[in-house]
Structure 1
Amino acid sequence: MKAFHPEAQWFDEARFGIFIHWGPYSLREIEASWPLVAQDNRVISVEDYEALADEFNPENYDPKTWAHAAKEAGAQYVVLTAKHHDGFCLFDTKTTDYNAVQRGPKRDLIAPYVEALHEVGLKVGLYFTTIDWHDPDFATIPIAANIQSPKPNVYDPLRWWDFHKRFVEQLRELLTNYGRIDLFWFDVPGFGADRWRSSEVKQMMLNLQPHLIINDRLPGVGDYETPEQFVPLHPPEEWWETCMTMNHQWGYHSDTSTYKSPVTLLNTLLEVATKGGNLLLNVGPRPDGTWPEPALERLKVVGSWLAHSGESIYCTKRTPEHYPPSFYGPMTVKDNTVYLHMRDIPRLPIEVRELGGNVQNVRHVKSGNPLQYNLEVTHGFSGGSNGNYQVSRLWIDLSGVDLDDWNTVVAIEFEDKPVWQLQKR
């Protein structure tokens, strides 16, 4: 499960992206789309929800500001909800009048977003749900109760295929009208690959943009896995990405008390990176198009740290799973360099054990300054089948170093790739 096109390999190096959930629902500070199918404590009727499309008028929408904020945060890509489950399209489409050009905003909101990301060199992602609760033809095939359309359900498979044609046409519009798109983030399949004709749909998309990356929520054909709102204890072997909110919901909400702390977000980013994945961190813009201050404040903290120590996150790999603990903290690896992440102030010189190879340099990543170190190699005999062995101990002195408030990173540079196991003599 991963894309093989050379221009798609950036995804396995990005490590950090920004998710954006934005639409008419932001006017009522409710979650994106889900109130439409809420069985209990419904906060809004279907009619009132869909009428929000005419109220939605983001007069302060400036995607260039978004792009610069994402860039300064250290993100490598951004994903915006082009269409959520409610069926409202932020883009110009000929398939429905329930879109931003014909309703409230009276303009295409995707085109300037794509252009802004291109200008600052960020990869462009579009969220596009498979289900559509506005389209009456979607409600003609039985589906799971928790994602059933709020529109009247009438069993008519031929009508469902009419919906599917519009689904495919909207994908074609997004991939032909806006220039280069790097990633498509599908959501909530509901049916299997046969019902969605996933292989045909993906091939159509790749025919239009061969470099495209597609997540696993277009059933059966995804390039990477998408755990949501948690970091897996045992991460997938192939490409993966955790998507996560900064507060309690994806769409905008003014309550600041539920935001995760900057340290919590940094810890999550580090955990994801040490496990070889990407973190897609969500921002829910206000109805007027501006980003909430609590979100901006947290992104600035993340970006500030990545500005001086991001090399220990971007393009890194996880350590081998079979490798025994040699350092009491998170580790990342890039080619011939091993990065040690210290979230606590060390009281003694750092000890790294059982890591073979010729050490060329040890440095403090934030300052670039070399660090004093001492390498010890012990030989012994364990008996049995293990025979002769050698154990290396590397001691690194951090006295006099300007330690980071959250995470001080030390880079150990080897002459060749480090050896991740006990070596027989």
Structure 2
Amino acid sequence: MTIGGGMDASEGKAWFTQDRFGMFIHFGLYALAARHEWVQHREEISPADYRKYFENFDPDLYDPREWARRAREAGMKYVVLTAKHHEGFCLWDSKHTDYKATNTPYGKDLLKAYVEAYRAEGLKVGFYYSLIDWHHPEFPIDGIHPLRNHPDALEMNKSRDVRKYAEYMRNQVTELLTDFGEISVIWFDFSYPKRDYRGMPGKGRNDWESEELVGLVRKLQPNIIVGDRLDLPTDGNFPKDLATPEQYTPRVAPTVNGKPVRWEVCHTFSGSWGYHRDETTWKDAAQLINILVDTVSLGGNLLMNVGPTARGTFDARANKALETYGEWMRLNSRSIYGAGPSEYVAPTGCKFTQRGNRLYLHIQTWPFRHIHIEGLGRKVKYAQFLHDASEVHWLDPDADVDSNIGVAVGNGMLTLELPVLKPDVVSPVVELILKD
């Protein structure tokens, strides 16, 4: 198994580039506000005023078995849930804080049921853990803290000790990686050492004590995949386990010191990670599928986010998006699982993924009748649409063909003959079986 087309994977992490597609879940107190997971920062809500969400948190319809079923049916193979986001609220019964789900009206640990439900559906389980904590009394106020413009912010910081906070994080991470069995991924988020604000410095590896934190993680879970947002140097002591581009698809696959790296892009169905009642920029079916295709064609994974409601459900818009993936993956998943980049260059409006001698042409912009592919003349022994296994013909490169098509074929070009009408499937895929 290779990572992004080049770097060897350890046996315990080889599943990652096989699975390709995962679910991100942002769930916390911000679901009650229903106006973005950064609402406390954006509106500069003090911890005291934010407490109303804690006092009313009761996701009584929470059924992680349904969440897990929908993830599996969408074609997702692993999941990462926000055990703690920037607001500092913990979804599990942590011994190191009172700011947790078991002290809300809901009164129960959310993580245990989540872990059990997703594992029962055959998905690998991961945790997101925020390095930032706007509730913890030892977390120094900085430029993204809700109290950043408080007149006494600098004075309040005099009694805050980030070293005590770093110890608190290690204690909680120990719980997460000890009490819930094997955890496949841990997402730490995020560092901002250069974001100084009004005399208050940003935070990075020295604040998080990142080296010690990573050492703890490796000791507790040797095969876990660790996200790259701890502000660690990319030297031999701290090789990058997982690059994490966010809300965009890279133009080329990420590298570290010129070498390929395991990577995963994370996206949202809309413009918010947490539940946002009034958000309207939801991606259409083609955008959803093409984000996945574009990512895998470069050798990466897609982690697509769902923000559950404060009742603990996926809303209708999220379910529709998941069903879009499910319908497409049911027919086209073999162009995704275990697939990666190809040495062949896809024509305009298309992307290639490849798995062994199977080359998958994802047609993102439907053409009129023909697609010309350089370098594949005489190399294909069979072609078919993946969604229905119907044969796709191509022009004989040795035949006399007039017009520009003939010129193309004569130059080692493969010219596929397609129906005028696009098949009733988002981004149709042609499976090209290459000669040995």
Shorter-normalised TM range? 0.7 to 0.9
Aligned to 1:232: 250
1:225–1:344: structure 2 CA closer, same or farther, 3 Å change rule?
same
| More moved, 198-207 vs 210-219 | 198-207
Matched letter for residue 73 of structure 2: E
Aligned to 2:126: 125
Q: Does 1:84 align with 2:85?
A: yes
Give the secondary structure class of the aligned counterpart of 1:264.
helix
Question: How many Å separate the matches in 1 of 2:314 and 2:87?
Answer: 22
Q: Does 1:413 align with 2:433?
A: yes
Deviation, structure 1 residue 356? 6.6
1:296–1:410: structure 2 CA closer, same or farther, 3 Å change rule?
same
Question: How many Å separate the matches in 2 of 1:203 and 1:290?
Answer: 36
Aligned to 2:191: 189
Q: Does 1:153 align with 2:156?
A: yes
Aligned to 2:217: 205
Q: Is the 8 A contact 1:77 1:123 kept in 2?
A: yes
Matched letter for residue 37 of structure 1: H
Question: How many Å separate the matches in 2 of 1:31 and 1:257?
Answer: 12
Superposed, which structure 2 residues align to 1:35-50 within 5 Å? 35-38=39-42, 41-42=43-44, 44-50=45-51
1:356–1:10: structure 2 CA closer, same or farther, 3 Å change rule?
farther
Q: Is the 8 A contact 2:163 2:207 kept in 1?
A: no
Aligned to 2:372: 351
1:282 aligned residue (299, 302, 305):
305
Corresponding pairs, count: 395
Q: Does 1:340 align with 2:358?
A: no
| More moved, 235-244 vs 61-70 | 235-244
Question: How many Å separate the matches in 2 of 1:260 and 1:363?
Answer: 29
Aligned to 1:331: 352
Question: How many Å separate the matches in 2 of 1:361 and 1:102?
Answer: 61
Question: How many Å separate the matches in 1 of 2:249 and 2:422?
Answer: 31
2:14 aligned residue (6, 9, 20):
9
Deviation, structure 1 residue 212? 0.4
The alignment-based identity, stated in percent, is 36
Give the secondary structure class of the aligned counterpart of 2:243.
coil
Give the secondary structure class of the aligned counterpart of 1:407.
coil
Question: How many Å separate the matches in 2 of 1:227 and 1:3?
Answer: 21
Aligned to 1:367: 388
Matched letter for residue 71 of structure 2: A
Deviation, structure 1 residue 279? 1.9
Question: How many Å separate the matches in 1 of 2:57 and 2:346?
Answer: 53
1:26 aligned residue (27, 31, 35):
31
Matched letter for residue 62 of structure 1: D
Question: How many Å separate the matches in 2 of 1:397 and 1:328?
Answer: 16
Give the secondary structure class of the aligned counterpart of 1:68.
helix
| More moved, 76-85 vs 324-333 | 324-333
Deviation, structure 1 residue 173? 0.3
1:202–1:366: structure 2 CA closer, same or farther, 3 Å change rule?
same
1:215 aligned residue (227, 239, 247):
227
1:73–1:57: structure 2 CA closer, same or farther, 3 Å change rule?
same
Q: Is the 8 A contact 1:357 1:414 kept in 2?
A: no
Question: How many Å separate the matches in 2 of 1:408 and 1:334?
Answer: 17
Matched letter for residue 284 of structure 1: G
Q: Is the 8 A contact 2:35 2:278 kept in 1?
A: no
TM-score between both structures, scaled by the size of structure 2: 0.83
| Structure 2 portions without partners, runs of 5+ | 193-202, 233-237, 256-260, 400-409
Q: Is the 8 A contact 1:376 1:394 kept in 2?
A: yes
Matched letter for residue 291 of structure 2: T
Give the secondary structure class of the aligned counterpart of 1:211.
coil
Matched letter for residue 336 of structure 2: I
Q: Does 1:244 align with 2:244?
A: no
Deviations 1:227-254 (A, max 9, x none): 2221222331322222222122111122
| More moved, 176-185 vs 195-204 | 195-204
Superposed, which structure 2 residues align to 1:55-70 within 5 Å? 55-70=56-71
Give the secondary structure class of the aligned counterpart of 1:376.
coil
| Structure 1 portions without partners, runs of 5+ | 379-389, 417-425
Matched letter for residue 312 of structure 1: S
Aligned to 2:165: 163
Aligned to 1:396: 416
Aligned to 1:138: 139
TM-score between both structures, scaled by the size of structure 1: 0.85
1:30–1:372: structure 2 CA closer, same or farther, 3 Å change rule?
closer
Question: How many Å separate the matches in 2 of 1:187 and 1:212?
Answer: 16
